[in-house]
Structure 1
Amino acid sequence: MNTVSSSRPLTESGSPASSTLLFALPALALSSKSGLGAVQLVILLIFIRHFTPVLRGYLRHWGELSGVTLAFLLYFLVSLVRMVVDHQPLHTLDGPSRLLFGLSCIGVMYYLRPRIRYFWLGLCITTLLAAAVAAYQVLSGQMERAIGFTHHAITFGDLALASGLMSACGLAAFRDPRLVRLNWLPGLALVAGLLASVLSGSRGGWLALPLVLIPLLTYGKRMYGNKLPLLCALMLGLLALAFAIPATGVADRVWLALMEVRRYLDTGDATTSVGIRLELWRASVMMFMEHPLLGVGRDGFDNALHALAASGRLQQSPALEYSSSHNDLLHHLATGGILDASLLLMMYVAPLRYFRAELRRQDQGQHPLALAGVVLVAAFIGFGLTDVMFWLMMPKVFYVMMVCSLIGMCLAVRHSAPTPRRILITRTDNIGDVVLTLPLAGYLKQLYPQAEIVFLCRRYAAAVVAQCRHVDRVLTLEELGPDLARGLKQTGCDTVLFAFPRRELAWAARRAGIARRIGSTRRIYHWLSCNRLVNLTSPLGVRLHEAQLSFKLLLPLGIDYVPEREQIWTLYGLDIPRHPDADAVLAGPGFKVILHPKSNGNGREWPLAHYTELARLLGKVDGVRVLVTGSPAEGELLAQQAPELLALPNVENLCGRLDLAAFTALVGGCDGLVASGTGPLHLAAALGRPVVGLFPPLKPIDPVRWAALGQRAHNLVNEPSCGHCADPAQCSCMLAITPQQVLAVIQGWRAEQLAPAA
């Protein structure tokens, strides 16, 4: 049976920390300029910290990134030259430097390879919160126009609308089983973005909708069928509804704008909101005509505006109080001439060309991101018709960080995780845990048949791991010696999966220079010693079996797959060994049932009185031999606590008589085994033997987490619980599992064995 996931392999994914940063990016972008600056600072620090690998990413994809990189870089360089030539203060480089630093988002996102679903979640949730805040501010009467957490209504409305429009592009992310219950979120976020824009009263933002609808309908239909066009129709319908309802004020603002345009054209009235903008546009054209190459200077707009008024070419109006053209292109033409206007167009056209190229490529998961990029650029072009998006700090930083982050994520999802050559799996705890990790080795061997699978365990468990045909080499902790780093380096492994966390091994793997070190976020030291972290917490409250949990460590390899419990047994790959000591026991006639009463303190044990009664009942069944097993110490305990069990004539006491190799052979040759949730139970199930597992209904030691997984495994648990499971002294759940229940299962095994003979 082929258990390899048939789903498209995912990109190699980074740590939950990087995904959290990705979630925070849109959240802080709409909160405040300082919040957005904080994210940019963190990304810049990551860029500096990992400069060499990040730079390699740029160089590897320079052919694709050159246009975008040069656009923002040239804007900064021109700004630097103009600052020197025009003797401007140093703070004039604040905005251009932010645009330059924004380029770091490309390399950082490509290097970190965060889980893209967190970006879509963050974008959707942030847009919903923005709409909620806007509704509260307006409906409570606090403000006439919502400003969110910003200080500018137009900026807030534009960014909220852009976030909502981009959210609609992420429908594909919500096909993920972990997000499928939230597949309504992008549509709601689109509506929320529109609502926030309406409540902000920023009419100019609505001019972006026709531009944005072009890519949404063109590419969206190809990607999502009719789903995205229907969302666009819903958005337009709601906008029409808002226009029709007088209480929203949308119709009033539209008619007022049209009336103000007519008044300006007829009488030159520049005292209204629209009239002021038209007057500023006229002034900007005059400035450009007089200074076509370099404009009046980036800080010269105000002086030039008043100079035009003083010369009588502009009327005295409120427009003279403004410091920008309220139009992106006109402002750059006026203050920077053809040079600055060309740079502005480059900062729009270069990202647009990149995202369109991504949309023309075969989809490897980058199409939704690229569509969001096209929508973002188109939206900002539309916003720039009535505002100067690259004049205020917040929108320009939002633009460059979003554009560059989307580019970095596009590159990341196209990245194929390097094929491991030698994979080290570490599981240095108990035998049962080791057995339940062997399916991970089996799955890796199916995925990478040419790779060498090395399994690190304690010496006492090596005999079991050696029987796994999926493991190429068994390495014991004792073999590594006192210098763990040196021992790990000598293995030549390029990937290590810490299925069992151990501090000294994690640090040793880092010192050994193992390229890919994958650990759990549950251990703080993994955050410093591992370069790939995995959150083992299951989504939406789904509980996984111990054997399934280790598969989550594959996510940084680009493998998002957890097998069903019913598939686990096909991946064990354990061969049944032979051993003379075991052969001597198995040579005798009869149906051989192993009872393993003790668990070395792991989990809850079935009462010894029940084991004794079960052995007594089995003594009444013809041809059944009862083999009691355990360590030497457990044998001594049984002699003290259950002498009646060991004294029964049909019971053979094997405690302490077999080493692990012989015990494994015995288990592999027996006809059944009964135990609580302990190593021998999982070993027998992995070897394909009939087993009965005895469990309490208590998290985390219940069958959901620790059931025996095998083709012939049977697990018994008392449900509902006794209500006192938290206190072992009072819990009666194990007592409630009767010997007669176990006997019935064993008799079924016996009948199956006798059936062929009959």
Structure 2
Amino acid sequence: MKFASVAAGGLLVFDGGLYPFAVGLLLATIAQGVAQASTPRGQSVAVPPCVTGTLLLALAIIALAAISAALHGREADSLDHVARLLLIPWCAWLAHGMRLPRVAVWYGAMLGLLVAVGVAGWQIHAGELRAGGGGNPIVFANLVSGLLAIALFAGPHTPGLRTWPQLVAWLVGGLAIIWSGSRGALLVWAALGLLAWMRHGDSRRRVRWLALALPGAAAMLALVGWLGLHAPLRLEQIEPNLVRFAHGDPDSPIGARLELLGLAWQGFLAHPWSGVGIENFGSLVRELPGCRTPSPMGMCVLTHAHNDFAEWAATMGLPGLAGIIALYGLPLACFIRIIRRTTGVPGASAQASWAGVALVGVYLGSGLSQSIFAHAATASAYAVFVGLLLGVALHEGVSPAPCAKQDAAGP
């Protein structure tokens, strides 16, 4: 399971990078199953309620998606992305039962960030407009943001061992995001850096962190200037995009997102209980006047709402909206409960829980401007890392006790 966890982060940005993790997951499942079968009754590790809860949630969402697909004549492959949610309880069960070390997940995230910045730098040097690891640059930036959350908050607990790894992770993550050209992910990067700085201990350590971060950021910008930035971050285009949208032209990055939110709202109002059908948001886009002309707008190729909440509400109605809220809310509630329970308890750690809160926060924030679960890579990454961190948090958040039953207790 340790190998699988490191591989999950280290190879995440590659197309098919989770295949080695899948192999490790299957082997770990077999090993854990054999161990459970050979354990005397009454001494096996109990399944914590949070793991059971995420399993029931995943099954409910899959059932909802299946009903939506059946009602609207969609193929079975439309369930592919939501079926990946089963990885949350699966990974959590294994990480908890096998007592996966938190640093295994952290090593994977650190390795993944180094790989990501290397790939991004190579692509920019080769003349690519935006780094994407061979795929969608925005998806690439979201994956990097998730890895960065783990790298900043799941590292070694010893204060002296946190400063340099955190700084390296933050800077290389920022480089990869800048080269991806994603404005939203850049805001996430800045927010994660601020949160890491605030949690860095007393004022002396914070000043030290800041003193090291500033020259590091300057070196990062110098490297960006040396290799070049073929696709600027377009920060100066935000106001013109809004002006164009106000004058009836939605065919710009920001204008398109606002138009898609309006379409999602209209679709939700028209079908508040069933929605327009899973993976059928593109039908709303194609009905736009600008998409029914011989020269359609550029945004007409978009097939999702670029917002998780709008997407699920428009395609699966109120049940879908409740599902996406629970998909973020249930793991977040579990992590927060573990943090509250471990406060002041000798021998218990909330480090993995804090990383989990940061990770869910990253995907929640990214999901306001992107459809995270419309892409296989980001859907898989969310499920895998939330599951791993939840499993680690469940066994780290228990004070050592001689009774195995106490050790297996969960929130």
Q: TM-score range by the shorter chain?
A: 0.7 to 0.9
Fraction of identical pairs, as percent: 23
1:366 maps to which residue? 349
Q: Distance in 1 between matches of 2:316 and 2:248?
A: 27
Residues 401 and 419 of structure 1: CA distance in aligned 2, closer, same or farther (over 3 Å): same
The answer on whether the counterparts of 2:349 and 2:396 sit within 8 Å (CA) in structure 1 is yes
1:115 maps to which residue? 101
Displacement of 1:24 in angstroms is 1.4
Q: Residue by residue, what CA displacement relative to the aligned partner does 1:663-721 show, whole Å, maximum 9, x if unpaired?
A: xxxxxxxxxxxxxxxxxxxxxxxxxxxxxxxxxxxxxxxxxxxxxxxxxxxxxxxxxxx
The answer on whether the counterparts of 1:145 and 1:153 sit within 8 Å (CA) in structure 2 is yes
Q: Distance in 2 between matches of 1:101 and 1:87?
A: 27
- 2:19 maps to 1:40: no
Displacement of 1:411 in angstroms is 1.9
Equivalent pairs, count: 391
Residues 365 and 117 of structure 1: CA distance in aligned 2, closer, same or farther (over 3 Å): farther
* Structure 2 unmatched ranges of 5 or more: 405-411
Q: Distance in 2 between matches of 1:211 and 1:351?
A: 21
- 2:266 maps to 1:280: no
SS of corresponding position for 1:184 = helix
Q: Distance in 1 between matches of 2:289 and 2:44?
A: 49
- 2:318 maps to 1:332: no
Matches within 5 A, 1:113-152: 113-141=99-127, 143-148=128-133, 150-152=134-136
Q: Distance in 2 between matches of 1:105 and 1:299?
A: 26
Q: Distance in 1 between matches of 2:271 and 2:214?
A: 43
Q: Distance in 1 between matches of 2:148 and 2:21?
A: 20
Selected match of 1:50 from 7, 32, 36: 32
Q: Distance in 2 between matches of 1:236 and 1:271?
A: 39
TM-score, normalised by the number of residues in structure 1: 0.47
1:72 maps to which residue? 58
Q: Residue by residue, what CA displacement relative to the aligned partner does 1:172-217 show, whole Å, maximum 9, x if unpaired?
A: 34669xxx5x962232011111110110001122343576468546
Q: Distance in 2 between matches of 1:415 and 1:131?
A: 36
Selected match of 1:238 from 200, 217, 220: 217
Residues 349 and 235 of structure 1: CA distance in aligned 2, closer, same or farther (over 3 Å): farther
Displacement of 1:127 in angstroms is 0.6
Selected match of 2:154 from 167, 170, 175: 170
TM-score, normalised by the number of residues in structure 2: 0.82
The answer on whether the counterparts of 2:312 and 2:324 sit within 8 Å (CA) in structure 1 is yes
- 2:249 maps to 1:264: no
The answer on whether the counterparts of 2:339 and 2:354 sit within 8 Å (CA) in structure 1 is yes
Q: Distance in 1 between matches of 2:164 and 2:60?
A: 42
- 2:4 maps to 1:21: yes
Letter in 2 for 1:128: L
2:322 maps to which residue? 342
1:155 maps to which residue? 139
Q: Distance in 1 between matches of 2:210 and 2:163?
A: 16
2:234 maps to which residue? 253
Displacement of 1:155 in angstroms is 0.9
Displacement of 1:59 in angstroms is 7.9
2:272 maps to which residue? 292
Q: Distance in 1 between matches of 2:399 and 2:174?
A: 37
Displacement of 1:310 in angstroms is 8.7
Residues 21 and 41 of structure 1: CA distance in aligned 2, closer, same or farther (over 3 Å): closer
SS of corresponding position for 2:17 = helix
The answer on whether the counterparts of 2:84 and 2:380 sit within 8 Å (CA) in structure 1 is yes
The answer on whether the counterparts of 1:327 and 1:384 sit within 8 Å (CA) in structure 2 is yes
Larger RCO (CA within 8 A; separation ≥ 6): 2
Displacement of 1:249 in angstroms is 7.4
Displacement of 1:366 in angstroms is 3.4
Higher relative strand content:
1
Q: Distance in 2 between matches of 1:336 and 1:239?
A: 46
Q: Distance in 1 between matches of 2:208 and 2:43?
A: 38
Residues 403 and 58 of structure 1: CA distance in aligned 2, closer, same or farther (over 3 Å): farther
Residues 107 and 239 of structure 1: CA distance in aligned 2, closer, same or farther (over 3 Å): farther
Q: Distance in 1 between matches of 2:44 and 2:91?
A: 11
2:408 maps to which residue? none
Q: Distance in 2 between matches of 1:226 and 1:359?
A: 25
SS of corresponding position for 2:310 = helix
SS of corresponding position for 1:50 = helix
The answer on whether the counterparts of 1:217 and 1:229 sit within 8 Å (CA) in structure 2 is no
Residues 289 and 54 of structure 1: CA distance in aligned 2, closer, same or farther (over 3 Å): farther
Q: Distance in 1 between matches of 2:396 and 2:291?
A: 58
Residues 387 and 98 of structure 1: CA distance in aligned 2, closer, same or farther (over 3 Å): same
SS of corresponding position for 1:172 = coil
Q: Distance in 1 between matches of 2:155 and 2:31?
A: 34
Range moving further from structure 2, 192-201 or 158-167? 158-167
Q: Name the Cα RMSD after superposition.
A: 3.6
Q: Residue by residue, what CA displacement relative to the aligned partner does 1:356-387 show, whole Å, maximum 9, x if unpaired?
A: 12222236453221111111111111111221
- 2:379 maps to 1:393: no
Letter in 2 for 1:145: R
Q: Distance in 2 between matches of 1:232 and 1:388?
A: 34
Q: Distance in 2 between matches of 1:226 and 1:250?
A: 39
The answer on whether the counterparts of 2:74 and 2:278 sit within 8 Å (CA) in structure 1 is no
Q: Distance in 2 between matches of 1:227 and 1:126?
A: 27
The answer on whether the counterparts of 1:167 and 1:189 sit within 8 Å (CA) in structure 2 is yes
Displacement of 1:19 in angstroms is 2.2
Displacement of 1:112 in angstroms is 1.9
Range moving further from structure 2, 186-195 or 356-365? 356-365
Matches within 5 A, 1:607-618: none
1:554 maps to which residue? none
Matches within 5 A, 1:350-361: 350-360=330-340, 361=342
Selected match of 1:307 from 277, 287, 295: 287
Displacement of 1:305 in angstroms is 2.5
Range moving further from structure 2, 410-419 or 105-114? 410-419
Q: Residue by residue, what CA displacement relative to the aligned partner does 1:236-268 show, whole Å, maximum 9, x if unpaired?
A: 99399959x986579761111332122211x22
Q: Distance in 2 between matches of 1:79 and 1:41?
A: 27
